[in-house]
Amino acid sequence: MKQHDGVAAVILAAGESRRFGSPKQLAQLDGQTLLEHVLQRAATAGLIPIVAVVPVWLTRPAAMDDPRLRWIRNPYPERGMSHSLRLGFAALPPEVGAAIILLGDQPRVPAAHLAAIIAARGSRPLIATRVGTRLVPPVLIERSRFSLVDEPRGDVGLREILAAVPDDVQAVDAAEPMPDVDTLADLDAVRDG
């Protein structure tokens, strides 16, 4: 897939994996970690740079020796998703015009869906994935609205940001499921799916 100038990826992968029981970032799926799957999806979509917000203990995968990747360690994962969002967006260079937020535990996001989100640019400053009636990640935010990630505190994520500015959101329907892996049962379901 071609490179999309000005569109970056911010991958949120610094969570504490409480429901999973062990670090999700290291959970294996088809010979790769969950996070490696997401990193690969972002690279395939041509997103530059790829900013991964991770726990301080997580080492960069040798397989991702890629100059596009920026490895940002979150020393305070207990501060929640909002803190990871701020760290990720602070790492974006000024030439980035938009960023797609991906979750490190969502390994089955199709490259075609990321392309559809990018193709929807220009209508509104936020483009979210719609599954049924819910708006979920991946979400694209144009630079003009990057300040939205500075507002939330605690374990507040994208849902609250999107709900606060509904007139600014364009929805792109998910053509296939993109489940989060929150528990071991979820991982088994993704393997079987």
> CA angle, 128 as apex, 104 and 67 as ends, to 5°?
45
Q: Which CATH number fits domain 7-192: 1.50.10.20, 3.90.550.10, 3.30.70.920, 3.40.50.1820?
A: 3.90.550.10
Cα–Cα distance measured from residue 13 to residue 166, given in angstroms and rounded to the nearest whole number: 26
Q: How many residues does the chain have?
A: 193
Instruction: Specify the 3-state DSSP secondary structure of 60.
Output: coil
Over residues 151-178, the pLDDT tens digits come to: 766 566 677 778 888 899 999 998 776 7
Question: Average of pLDDT values for 13-32?
Answer: 77
pLDDT tens digits, residue range 56-74? 888 887 666 778 889 999 9
Domain limits, the chain: 7-192
pLDDT value of position 144: 92
pLDDT score at 3: 47
Average pLDDT, integer, range 94-114: 92
Q: What distance separates the 2 farthest-apart alpha carbons in the chain? A: 42
| Residues 128-154 pLDDT 10s | 998 888 888 999 999 999 988 887 665
Write down the pTM of the prediction: 0.89
